[in-house]
Structure 1
Amino acid sequence: MTHIVAARTLPAARDGVAAMSGRFAGRIGLVTGAASGLGRDAALALAAEGARLVLFDRDAAGLAGTQGHCAGAVAVTGDVSQAGDMDRAAAALDTLGPVTLLVTAAGMLGPTLPLAEVAESDWDRVFAVNVKGTWLALKAVLPRMIAAGGGAVVTVASGAGLVANAVFPAYSASKGAVVLMTRSVAASHAVQGIRANAVCPGQIETPMLRGVFSALGDRAASVEATFRARNPSGRFGEVPEVTAAVLFLLSDAASYINGTALPIDGGRLA
């Protein structure tokens, strides 16, 4: 069941940090997956720089927490894989004005099993959230961006969508699809003033990553140490490091960057 929470005018802040440059002042957009992790941080940063947003997520409590730091934001609780829920988010956008920003951060990891052992229901759910959810957000926002005269899209893919991943095969396949979907949008809509780029994070300190290690039980410490050792930087990334790239790609400073899939992984894929 989906519901819309009315806009609340609150002081714009990113977890207590004052607004920065105002480079997104007057811009309107949608952020999916806004209740936690990368989506939450992107929403907070955009709002701190003047954007008015529709925030979308299944987690109503987490979404309310994000909304509390985003001046004038509208929260829509729903499932990103359900067209009706996304239609409600689109309707909320129409109450704010011309739409020129989109960040699709909603996603899930899925089972950590060899490909042949992944259950059909798990495979379908991973693709429903990661691929269909991205498609539905694009489907809702692109016509509105065209009507507005252009805009910028950043999808959240993954380093696992750029190279094969034996540990998360369903996730890897789904994020590869997100990369090519994004590039298709870039190729199709550049003439209409729309840019579309993907960020491809590696291991980033998020609840999703911590969940992976928690599921490993006694092996967690050794696997985490192995992951760190494989990275030339010797550490995991921080969420604001991804957010900085998202905001750059959305900004006018990236006006000639279109169709890229940017690894944010400390050199892991170098």
Structure 2
Amino acid sequence: MDGGRFEGRVAVVTGAASGLGRDTAIGLARQGARVVLFDRDRSGLDATAQHCGTAICIQGDVTDAASLARLAEAAAAIGPLTLLATAAGVIGATKPLTALEEEEWDRLFDINTKGTWLTLRALLPLMLGAGGGGIVTFASAAGLTGSPSLPAYSASKAAVVMMSRSLALTHARDGIRINCVCPGSIETPMLEEVFAVTGSAEARAAREAEFLQRHPLGRFGKPADVTAAVLFLLSDEAAFITGVALPVDGGRLA
């Protein structure tokens, strides 16, 4: 552990078993936080925990209020909770809106939107009791602009943006800052999932080129690019920043 700006503070990260959640958890731990990891993938949690010092792992689902109650209990047991990153999410089917099945739509909103709400509902009371803190929710660049290939995902993440901004106003006087990050295409298992469903090698290459051309910096993002933004927003360096939806997107929304 490197120590640093989060020394001695308690942090919760949902979706910590892989991707951006894993990288965020590791970043928090390296900068001194005591991290509580939450995900439904137990083996992924254990793999993340190996890089997070004395991390605590809680297996559960963000769509399940009882799981989140266990998470809150575990976090409260180790000290005042002042840091939260809600990275759990799925990208869902890459279909036109009219081709989506009702179950596909519901799953996206259950995990991405309702899951974020349930997490905040379970853990905000702990942060109020601690006298304040920082929250970063995970939205998407697709939640700030239309997405022809991911319309339901875009809608679910747009809801997270507005939920975060609204809560930032609600809890500003409580000393709780709430911001969200809006990544572009980041090299994670979620992006691989998007490319893997395209079928032939030619179709995959075309999809990758389509996504890449949306990013003026000429590359896909790395998890570390997003983690750097998350850690900044959680830190005291961002003490006068709340209600922000920060694109980390290689210039896509410029």
Range into which the TM-score falls when normalised by the shorter chain: over 0.9
Structure 2 CA distance, aligned partners of 1:196 and 1:205? 25
- In structure 1, the partner of 2:216 is 232
- In structure 1, the partner of 2:228 is 244
Matched residue SS, 1:55: strand
| Pair 1:44 & 2:34 matched | no
- In structure 2, the partner of 1:258 is 242
Structure 2 CA distance, aligned partners of 1:105 and 1:173? 17
- Encode CA deviations 1:16-41: one digit per residue, 9 max, x unaligned: xxx15x10011102100000000000
- In structure 2, the partner of 1:69 is 51
Shift of 1:165: 1.1
Show the 5 A alignment for 1:1-270. 12=1, 19-20=2-3, 22-218=4-200, 219-270=203-254
Contiguous gaps of at least 5 residues in structure 2: none
Shift of 1:54: 1.1
Matched residue SS, 2:90: coil
Matched residue SS, 1:31: strand
- Encode CA deviations 1:239-262: one digit per residue, 9 max, x unaligned: 100000000000000000000000
Shift of 1:73: 1.1
Contiguous gaps of at least 5 residues in structure 1: 1-11, 13-18
The amino acid across from 2:226 in the alignment is V
**RMSD of equivalent CA atoms:** 0.9
Structure 2 CA distance, aligned partners of 1:227 and 1:120? 26
Structure 2 CA distance, aligned partners of 1:128 and 1:61? 23
Moved more, 248-257 or 212-221: 212-221
Instruction: Give me the TM-score of the superposition, normalised by structure 1.
Output: 0.92
Shift of 1:71: 1.7
Shift of 1:231: 1.7
- Encode CA deviations 1:167-194: one digit per residue, 9 max, x unaligned: 1111100000000010011000000000
Matched residue SS, 2:78: coil
- In structure 2, the partner of 1:6 is none
Paired residue total: 252
Instruction: Give me the TM-score of the superposition, normalised by structure 2.
Output: 0.97
Detail structure 1 runs of 4+ shifted over 2 Å in the superposition: none
- Encode CA deviations 1:134-181: one digit per residue, 9 max, x unaligned: 111111111111111100000010000001112111110000000001
The amino acid across from 2:5 in the alignment is R
